[in-house]
Amino acid sequence: MRALDWIVLSAALGFIVVYGLWKGRRNRDLNSYILADREMKWWTVAISIMATQASAITFLSTPGQAYADGMRFIQFYLGLPIAMVILSITAVPIYHRLKVYTAYEYLEGRFDLKTRTLAAGLFLIQRGLSTGITIYAPSLIISVLLGWNIYLTNVVIGVLVIIYTASGGSKAVGWTHFQQMIIILGGMLVALIVAVNSLPKDISFREAAFVAGKMGRLNAIDFSFDVTNRYNFWSGLIGGLFVALSYFGTDQSQVQRYLTGETEAQSRMGLLFNGLVKVPMQFFILFVGAMVFVFYQFITPPLFFNSVETLKIRSSPYAFEFARLEEEHRSVHYEKQISLQGLVRAIRAGGDDNVSKAEARVRTDQTRAAVIKKKAIALFKKNDPAADTSDTNYIFLTFVIRFLPAGLVGLVMAAILSASMSSTASGLSSLASSTAVDVYKRLVTKDASEEHYVRFSKLATVFWGLFAIAFATFANRLGSLIEAVNILGSLFYGTILGIFLLAFYFKRVRGTPAFVGAIIGEIAVLYCFKFTEISFLWYTVVGCVVGVGSALILNAIMPPPSRPESAPAPAPAA
């Protein structure tokens, strides 16, 4: 990075931290600290919801996903708008009416304390680890490509977020999300413009799109049904719906965002706006990746984008073999460029036959290139069985660093770090809220002053921030990071969603059947993860269906208790 990049990066991040501190300077009680005095308008709620979900992983890994696997990942988001409508009708009115601080508070009033504690516990485990990944992901990639110290990068990102989140609470988180989203979208737009402008002068935008399409990178929709196929229309619509219902309806990091809405209507509107813009935004990010792919068809890409693994192999006994593979890679890529020029000419001339023949030649070259890459990966494994053999996460940033002009690299870096900070801040804020309200206030110290709970929440924010930094420091080799974070979520989301569906829609189900059903659902998910090939998008469906089904059966066969299982908590039950 050059001096101008450092200036842009420091100014952007410095502004966010100072702005966050200023906006969140007055927190009198838990309502201020956790729910920003419930005074946010719908557009702030909407931006905050989007910024919470859009972590740095989204902006680093998603374009790489399109580069390596095409745009089919977009299908993961197809269930989201339906979930936004369902939650606006069901969850939002309930949470607002009960004036809860956390989603799990509602479960005590509806079921019992143990079910509330189970759901809060699952959330704290899952979100605590996920927040670590949201810090670790950009640190890893930046440290590999820019040579920054990974531990120092983890600490810098983590500490910056802790400063304004612990001090300013939900207000600071919500207001900084606005600035962060502007920087993030600006950075991605710049990357797209540079990728398209850097294509050879004789290739038009339409032809670039055709090249991407013919090489299988614009495969946005696939209607074939296969539960082992990770991304298709059905897994996206059904599995994605369940994931989105669970994430937005029961994950405190999102629930807390829309509970800051001034009224129920403002919260609902925030969710619906997210339902409108989320899919096009993801499509845009994936399209950036597809254009970077086309760009690298006309400029020889590295054989492997992870430069640390490349350096390791170059200084190993396999260096000669790797150099030979690199030579082969360059030669095949050169031949592929000639085939691609032929494909572009055929597209211009028209005629299905010519296009098919040219496409077949390109695909043959593409297969040869893929074989060479597989050989290189096998070499990495031979040299070091623990080598990181996925380079998806490094593709986009490699492009940014090598081909963007001074200043714009700093802007994109600011966008990536802003994204990391935005989701980390929501994660820390929600972890602190649940720890303070569901654990400390409910189970440890029930009758302290509001100032005491605000002080505890600040301490909890710092604790979870340090925990996330520690996990980020020890996390390693998770493959495609965007998939890692989604898989981690999917292991718990189904069970939590099942509990909430029982609470919302099955009024006769009691606490103990719901609790035992949730345990059975979680066991079923862990079984699928460990022993089957079922795609992770279905885990949420499995956890939810098994949990709800088991609870209904248990509820029918277990005799109702002679006295209430536990006294319902008043609302709010904090």
Partner 1 sequence: MEAEAPPPIGKSWARLYGIVLAFLAVQIVIFYVFTKAFE
Verify binding: residue 74, partner 1, rule CB under 8 A.
yes
Verify binding: residue 513, partner 1, rule CB under 8 A.
no
* Angle, in degrees to the nearest 10, between helices 481-505 and 511-531: 160
Q: Which sign does the torsion angle of CA 134, 421, 437, 543 carry?
A: negative
222 or 565, CB closer to partner 1?
A: 222
Among 4, 279, 377, 466, binds partner 1 (CB under 8 A): 279
Among 23, 268, 333, 458, binds partner 1 (CB under 8 A): 268
User: CB of 86: closest distance to partner 1 in angstroms?
Assistant: 9
Site string for partner 1, 314-353 (x = CB under 8 A): ----------------------------------------
Exposure string of 352-368, with b = 16+ CB inside 10 Å and e = fewer, is eeebeebbebbbebbeb
- Whether 227 contacts 529, CB under 8 Å: no
User: CB of 74: closest distance to partner 1 in angstroms?
Assistant: 7
* CA–CA separation, 116 and 106 (whole Å): 8
CA–CA distance from 448 to each of 30, 158, 387, 429 (Å)?
12, 30, 52, 21
- What is the helix (H) or strand (E) element at residue 132, kind and residue range? helix 113-146
Q: Phi/psi of residue 203, each to 5°?
A: -105, 120
Residue 44 in tokens: 């702030």
Verify binding: residue 220, partner 1, rule CB under 8 A.
yes
* CA–CA separation, 191 and 397 (whole Å): 10
Piece of 144-152, 187-195, 277-285, 403-411 that binds partner 1 (CB under 8 A): 277-285
* CA–CA separation, 568 and 377 (whole Å): 58
Verify binding: residue 235, partner 1, rule CB under 8 A.
no
Piece of 12-20, 183-191, 219-227, 434-442 that binds partner 1 (CB under 8 A): 219-227
Among 55, 88, 126, 422, binds partner 1 (CB under 8 A): 88
Among 280, 405, 560, 570, binds partner 1 (CB under 8 A): 280
3-state secondary structure (DSSP) of residue 203: coil
Among 3, 85, 311, 519, binds partner 1 (CB under 8 A): 85
32 or 88, CB closer to partner 1?
A: 88
Verify binding: residue 210, partner 1, rule CB under 8 A.
yes
Count of residues interacting with partner 1 (CB under 8 A): 34
Q: Closest by alpha carbon to 172, among 400, 348, 20?
A: 20
User: CB of 98: closest distance to partner 1 in angstroms?
Assistant: 13
Among 7, 146, 152, 276, binds partner 1 (CB under 8 A): 276
All residues at 6 or more sequence positions from 80 whose CB lies less than 8 Å from its CB, including other chains: 240, 241, 244, 248, 274, 275, 278, 279
User: CB of 100: closest distance to partner 1 in angstroms?
Assistant: 17
- Whether 180 contacts 56, CB under 8 Å: no
**How many C-beta atoms surround the C-beta of residue 557 within 10 A?**
8
Residue 571 in tokens: 């609302």
128 or 236, CB closer to partner 1?
A: 236
Piece of 279-287, 319-327, 492-500, 562-570 that binds partner 1 (CB under 8 A): 279-287
Q: Closest by alpha carbon to 286, among 535, 46, 77?
A: 77
24 or 270, CB closer to partner 1?
A: 270
Among 152, 265, 378, 519, binds partner 1 (CB under 8 A): 265
DSSP percent split of the chain into helix, strand, coil, nearest 5: 80, 0, 20
Q: Phi/psi of residue 175, each to 5°?
A: -70, -35
Among 16, 57, 84, 113, binds partner 1 (CB under 8 A): 84
Q: Is 572 exposed, middle or buried (0-12, 13-18, 19+ CB in 10 A)?
A: middle
3-state secondary structure (DSSP) of residue 261: strand
Name the DSSP letter for residue 450: H
Verify binding: residue 233, partner 1, rule CB under 8 A.
yes
User: CB of 562: closest distance to partner 1 in angstroms?
Assistant: 33
User: CB of 498: closest distance to partner 1 in angstroms?
Assistant: 24
User: CB of 248: closest distance to partner 1 in angstroms?
Assistant: 13
Verify binding: residue 178, partner 1, rule CB under 8 A.
no
219 or 429, CB closer to partner 1?
A: 219
Q: Closest by alpha carbon to 79, among 497, 431, 425?
A: 497
Q: Is 173 exposed, middle or buried (0-12, 13-18, 19+ CB in 10 A)?
A: buried
230 or 441, CB closer to partner 1?
A: 230
Verify binding: residue 78, partner 1, rule CB under 8 A.
yes
Among 27, 176, 219, 246, binds partner 1 (CB under 8 A): 219
Piece of 208-216, 390-398, 404-412, 563-571 that binds partner 1 (CB under 8 A): 208-216
294 or 541, CB closer to partner 1?
A: 294
Piece of 6-14, 257-265, 366-374, 462-470 that binds partner 1 (CB under 8 A): 257-265
Find the Cα–Cα–Cα–Cα dihedral 91, 276, 290, 201, rounded to 10°. Answer: -160
34 or 208, CB closer to partner 1?
A: 208
Q: Which sign does the torsion angle of CA 268, 271, 277, 280 carry?
A: negative
Q: Closest by alpha carbon to 502, among 101, 110, 87, 80?
A: 110
User: CB of 85: closest distance to partner 1 in angstroms?
Assistant: 5
User: CB of 236: closest distance to partner 1 in angstroms?
Assistant: 10
Residues that bind partner 1 (CB under 8 A): 41-42, 74, 78, 81-82, 84-85, 88-89, 209-210, 212-214, 218-223, 233, 263-266, 268-269, 272, 275-276, 279-280, 283
